[in-house]
Chain A
Amino acid sequence: MDFVVNIEVFATRFLGIFIEAVPFLLLGSLTSGLIESFVKSDDIVRLMPRNRLGAALGGAFLGLAFPVCECGVVPVTRRLFSKGLPVSMGLAFLLAAPFMNPIVFASTYIAFGFGTVFIGRFVITIVVAVTVALVIGIFAKPGTVLKPIAMAGGGAKHSHDDHDHDHDHELASLRDKLLHAVGVASDEFFEMGRFLILGSALAALMQTLVPQESLLALGTGNVLSVLFMQLLAYILSVCSTVDSFLALAFVNTFTTGSIISFLSFGPMVDIKSTLMFTGVFRRRIVLYLILLPFVMNLLAGVLINLALGY
Chain B
Amino acid sequence: MSAGDNRIYWAKLLILLGMGLYLTQLIISGNLSNYINQRFGWLAYVGAGIFYLLALVSLWGRIKPSFHAHQHYRIGWDIVLIAAFPLALALLIPSRSLGIAAINGGISLRPVGVGNAATFARSPQDRNILDWLREYNRAAPAEFNDLPVDVIGFVYREPVHAADEFMVSRFAMSCCVADAFPIGMPARAEPIDEVPVGSWVRVQGRLHAANFAGELLPVIVVETLDLVDEPEQPYLYP
Contacts and interface: CB of A to CB of B under 8 A. Distances in A.
Chain B associates with chain A = yes
Interface of A: 1-2, 5-9, 11-20, 22-24, 26-27, 30, 154-158, 170-171, 176, 179-180, 182-191, 193-194, 197-198, 201, 203-204, 207-214, 216, 236, 238, 242, 245-246, 248-253
Contacts of B104: 1, 208-212
Interface of B: 12, 15-16, 19, 23, 26, 32, 34-37, 40, 43-44, 46-47, 50-51, 53-54, 57-58, 60-61, 67-75, 78-80, 82-83, 85-86, 89-90, 93-98, 101-102, 104-106, 108, 112-116, 174-181, 238
A186 B57 contact: yes
B57 A182 contact: yes
Given A8-B93, A157-B70, A187-B75, A216 B175 contact: no
Contacts of A198: 82
Task: Among A9, A27, A203, find the residue whose CB has the most chain B CB atoms closer than 10 A.
Answer: A9
A182 B44 contact: no
A158 B44 CA distance: 34
Interface centre among A11, A12, A22 (most CB of B within 10 A): A12
Nearest to A242: B175
A92 B46 CA distance: 28
Contacts of B35: 12, 15-16, 19-20
A155 B73 contact: yes
A27 B177 contact: no
A30 B47 CA distance: 12
A20 B60 contact: no
Nearest to A209: B104
Nearest to A204: B178
Contacts of B108: 213, 216
A251 B83 contact: no
B9 to A, nearest CB: 11
9 contacts: A5-B101, A7-B93, A12-B34, A20-B35, A26-B54, A176-B68, A179-B57, A182-B57, A186-B58
A190 B68 contact: no
Given A1-B101, A17-B176, A179 B69 contact: yes
